[in-house]
Structure 1
């Protein structure tokens, strides 16, 4: 397995060295797998049918938002943890802090140590020019 990347030119408006553009590697040719694809993979590694796995995964993906809205962090073993975070405007006193100051909610994912270690061994390959 390898992760392919390509060079991408990025404009740097306030560059210290005076250069206005630099090249950076960006992940390219990324494939996408949906819930059914993942269910088929899990099914081939177990005794569960694809439809059993889809049912469990559908229930699981429906449960995560409910748990987050119930102020619960969702720890998924060696995968990592999902948690809810908020952004708000700052105020001068504690009394002024109300729910109306909250501007948006975001979902954060913190990968586990094991997942970070696994990803650290990625084989990166540059896409050859055509």
Structure 2
């Protein structure tokens, strides 16, 4: 099934006087939760139950939290890597930089080879309301 997209109109933030242009914007087509992923994984070529898979995925979330909060990059092989990044206000000198200048943080995900390959071959379809 192809990825759906909407058409959205956007102004250029660098030039507010420029005419707006139209862009494709990915449209989510539902969601999949952890429980249904566990059922799908257990129904594949594995001999473990969906409860066992769900327990492992829940533990994965716990250890991701722990290691990311310690500043580590979590490498999950072919799946990809997770890492925290931060955004801060600037300071005049290096010695004036402190954690109080940090404005926000987020978790970056860098997909592994299989996911990058999928991105190169994914098909798209315009969303019809």
Shorter-normalised TM range: 0.7 to 0.9
SS at match of 2:121: coil
Aligned to 1:125: 125
Distance in 1, Cα, partners of 2:83 & 2:51: 29
TM-score normalized by the length of structure 2: 0.84
SS at match of 1:120: helix
Within-5 A mapping of 1:78-93: 78-93=78-93
Aligned to 1:113: 113
Structure 1 stretches of at least 4 aligned residues deviating more than 4 Å after TM superposition: none
Pick which of 84-93 and 40-49 moved more: 84-93
Structure 1 gaps, min length 5: none
Distance in 1, Cα, partners of 2:49 & 2:89: 49
CA displacement 1:23-69 (0-9 Å, x = unmatched): 22222351100001100110111111010011111111121111011
Distance in 1, Cα, partners of 2:103 & 2:24: 34
Distance in 1, Cα, partners of 2:57 & 2:82: 16
Structure 2 gaps, min length 5: none
Cα distance 1:15–1:93, how it changes in 2: closer, same or farther (>3 A)? closer
TM-score normalized by the length of structure 1: 0.83
Pick which of 64-73 and 4-13 moved more: 4-13
Aligned to 1:40: 39
After superposition, the CA RMSD in angstroms is 2.1
Within-5 A mapping of 1:1-130: 1-12=1-12, 14=15, 18-19=18-19, 21-45=20-44, 46-128=46-128
Equivalenced residue count is 127
